[in-house]
Structure 1
Amino acid sequence: MDDSDAIDFGEFDSDSETPRWPSLQDIFDADSFETIAENAASYISRARFRDAEHSSSLVAIKSGSIDPRFSKQPHDIGKELRILLSTDHTNIIEVLGHSYESPTSTLHYWMPFLPFDVYGILSNPRMSPHAPPGGTSDISADPSSFLVVAKSIIYQTLSALAYIHKHGIAHRDLKPRNLLLTADGHLKLIDFGIAWTENTDERDLWPEPRGRMCFDVATGPYRAPELLFGAADYNAYATDLWSTGAVFAEFFTPLRLCKAYDDDGDWCQDGEESGSESDSDESAPKQPFIVPKGLSPDSPDVEWVRESLYDGTRGQIGLAWSIFKVHGTPTSESWPGFKDLPDAQKVTFTQVPAVDLQKLLPNLPPAEAEPDHHASLDLIRKLLAYPPENRLRAVEALKHQLFRMGVPLLLPTDYPPTEGREGKEWNGRTLADFVSQYVSASENVQA
């Protein structure tokens, strides 16, 4: 469907004295409003409808300015809303309504509030084929359940990408926090605020034709390497594929024990670890769980955090170097077009070879769990390929052997029929039964 043309954002600043749009207070209970996330371009509120018939329904309201003076390139909430209204896919968040405040040039749209996200699942120590350390006797290794959930999440993510890429849309900010889940494991891709479209629109705040594309997109460890070297004309769909590969890899990276809070801001401790390798020994295989010296899994003020495959904490050059240390410094053979990137020759990197990816992914299915062990590695490698054109397209990735062999692919019970080897139950359990092991009722997301 395509309802985007029904909204003329250019007419929002009408001088008419008659309000064209209802206020949020007319639609939602003012006492229920709660800001749950914000950034430089927008903020998210949670609220309930005033209407008694729908008062039990929670919504997430995204608000942002359509005035470029009060927005931040390339964020464009007007474009985001037009994109969402033009899509119709089970793995993309649906828009329930929208409104506009002329005095502040603020656009609001609301969507169902979903309680869980993939970031929360990845941070759960149960999400491993190995039993976590500590004295919690009720947590044991469950490789099959772990893989059922991982497969379903990645399949649904790829399904959303295949759909938007077919329609000329690239998300450009795919990360665990932008992948929300219902209690039954139904995934919804959110936050199209910096999405790129093949066709430009005169209503766009920040037009991005080829040659003038913004490379300051995606988040930290999920940024494709070509974005780090000033590319203004790049394959935006391929950057989504890299991000997906980085997210998928995190299902198998270590979980690190961190302080839940720290007055000095040193949230995660580095240094010596017990039961794991030293951070300085980069050649040693990583362990499934990393416990820094001085911390105990049984302490009440600690929590597990999933490590990213790449280091997004040290700027663009630091991120690029962390990528090169995994996949090797680009050469004319491994990435023929790398030297053509605008900033590729401004920094000289030490030549290092690619490492064995298995050493960095200690939570992979055990080697004896074939074909899942090999298939998981193969899909990650095909998504995290250097030349963007070599990355496995989403529509082809949906046919990958990972989803056709080994532990079965389970989809939500309300998922539309698809072609392939998937089901709604395995050993008498639905996807919702498996997901329930890894989510907490106290989680509160939709950032």
Structure 2
Amino acid sequence: MNTVPGVANKLQDITASMSDYNPNALTVQQAQDIMRAYIQPVCGIEKLTIRQALGRVLATDITSPINVPAHNNSAMDGYALRGEDLADGQELKLKVTATVLAGAEFTGTVGRGECVRIMTGALMPAACDTVVPQEFTTKISDDKIRISAGSLRAGDNRRLKGEDLAMGTIALHKGKILTPADLGLLASLGIPEVSVQRRLRVAIFSTGDELRSLGETLESGCVYDSNRYTLYGMLMRMGCEVLDMGVVQDNPDALEAAMRSACENADAIITSGGVSVGDADHTRQLMDKLGEVAFWSIAMRPGRPMAFGKIASAGKSAYLFGLPGNPVAVMVSFYFFARQALQQMSGAEITPLPIFSVKSNADIRKRPGRTEYQRGILSVRADGELGVSITGSQGSGILRSMSEANCMIILHDDQGNIAAGEKLSVLPFAGLI
């Protein structure tokens, strides 16, 4: 695939460079690769206090202004001594000359055969390079201790200046999604605020004359729209700003108005419905009119139909993700396609989904030639290993199965039937859903 990193490549140029590109028979990997080559990060930086920065994407590298720790210090409560006093295979008796507390500096000297009582984090006295934990010592008198032979080596239990982080080195890299531990690290460096990428603005709407929003009357043949609420939850988990545009009718004028409004007010648009074979032709015509959009039939189940590209209106543009209308297919398509693309747009480091290999608790039917995503329940087997079972019926409209599941079973395109006890790829939902 011939693309230039950091340069906006045309979608048609990307697909034209693929010798095996077939929009009607695309593999999951091919679709992911095209998105990765096409997506460009959104610009926009703001400065926040570290209390406000949790979950945000770091916009610049953070260079440590200090050494961490700032001085050689004790890694535990015990006694600081000179390593040269240690003799292999011999018991050692030392005189205790002082006590050093954390936050205080000992300015005296420690001679041969002497030591000081020291607390965790306290500065190491000059000439001392070793700490013996107090549980490895025996008190002989108020000012003398004994250390058993072979219980210590020179340099043990001492933290060196700059050991965790040396001054001038990168503490956190650009693109890092800040965690609670990162906030603590920033505070330990004396850094009160950081530059972060602005939040992505994502517009969502569903299409379909049969859809009703919550609070509306449910006429015969109609259903409540659940997809916007699912998408809202997944996007909020990613830290996006969500513009919910409701349900859009299946007519060209309403759809164009929604597309233009979304494009002019958001960085990305995620729609559900209107991309399957047999859907109204005006959907495709409109997307083509507003920009460059590819309509794909991906070799996967659920979530086969998808539209992807970019549209423009009033001088602004937005990436478009046209997801299928079935509730489970929406979630599958989001996690395996839109999620990584949105991470890339936000300037975040791309974090692969945490996929594990787990034994199947039962036989699973599968035909080669497509990737299948089945809802599963992870549990501990009688043999102590993790096992996984499907939730039951795997219809793409059964949203309850996603609520009951705690993982997604991934059956790769080259796999056939799975026998009980065979290893499967599994994506836990913890932290995702």
- If the length of structure 2 is used for normalisation, what is the TM-score? 0.21
Higher-Rg structure is 2
Structure holding more strand per residue: 2
Structure holding more helix per residue: 1
With a CA cutoff of 8 Å and minimum separation of 6, indicate the structure with the bigger relative contact order. Answer: 1
